[in-house]
């Protein structure tokens, strides 16, 4: 179905890097003498505005935060594909074109996607993406010139994703996986997603239901 599009966020939706990020964050907090945070605590409070997130915990030297985080995360393991994600993407490709929008640098996104076995020749990858609704998203705007918004599904695991999808009047789908998502179910509900699923494994059935 060329007159449709399925968009996925990357981290927490396709790529499992939550525990790597949690470990790096706690190392940074420890370096600054601050209390560490639990997985549930991070899922309740996670924000892409990292400077403000650390400032709320009494850490204002964001340059040092970034230096420490980069140093630590490089030795904190490698992300893996979320179970069921590869199968879901391959099934959806039989129904619709697929794109991935990520704030990760494009080169890193492509490398990870290839290492996960995703069919990168069939998927459109968008790296270095700003998900700030105050900033025009050229990738979205180009896409929406060609495809009706009611035929575009956006799967994401944070309220940032859902707010972006709702801002562009897309079909927003929150993925509330208790093991991999960055925001928990309660937090995601506050963003008013059109649909809420428990796992990326449920994505292909939902796409089939909506687009066929």
Among residues 208, 211, 99, the alpha carbon closest in space to that of 155 is found at 99
pLDDT of amino acid 2: 65
Spatial distance between the Cα atoms of 31 and 27, rounded to a whole number of angstroms: 6
Q: What pLDDT score does 165 carry?
A: 94
* pLDDT reported for residue 115: 97
End-to-end CA gap in the chain: 9
pTM of the shown model: 0.92
Question: E strands along 109-165, which residues?
Answer: 123-126, 152-156
pLDDT tens figures, 34-53: 999 999 999 999 988 899 99
- Cβ partners under 8 Å of residue 20, min gap 6: 73, 76, 77, 78, 79
**Rounded mean pLDDT, 111-131:** 93
Lowest mean pLDDT among 81-90, 129-138, 171-180: 129-138
- Amino acid 202: pLDDT: 98
Which of 65, 54, 48, 12 shows the shortest CA–CA distance to 130? 48
């Amino acid at each position: 179905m060329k007159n449709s599009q399925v968009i996925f966020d990357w981290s927490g939706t396709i790529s499992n890097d939550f525990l790597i990020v949690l470990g790096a964050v706690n190392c940074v907090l420890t370096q600054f003498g601050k209390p560490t945070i639990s997985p549930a605590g991070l899922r309740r409070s996670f924000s892409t505005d990292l400077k403000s997130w650390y400032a709320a915990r009494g850490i204002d030297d964001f340059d040092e935060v970034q230096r420490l985080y980069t140093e630590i995360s490089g030795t904190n393991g490698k992300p893996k594909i979320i179970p069921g994600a590869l199968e879901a993407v391959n099934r959806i490709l039989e129904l619709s074109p697929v794109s991935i929008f990520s704030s990760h640098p494009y080169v890193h996104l492509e490398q990870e996607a290839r290492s996960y076995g995703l069919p990168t020749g069939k998927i459109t990858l968008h790296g270095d993406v700003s998900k700030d609704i105050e900033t025009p998203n050229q990738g979205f705007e180009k896409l929406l010139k060609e495809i009706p918004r009611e035929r575009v599904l956006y799967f994401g695991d944070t309220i940032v994703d859902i707010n972006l999808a709702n801002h562009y009047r897309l079909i927003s789908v929150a993925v509330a996986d208790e093991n991999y998502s960055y925001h928990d179910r309660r937090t995601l509900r506050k963003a008013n997603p059109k649909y809420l699923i428990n796992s990326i494994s449920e994505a292909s059935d939902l796409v089939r239901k909506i687009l066929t």
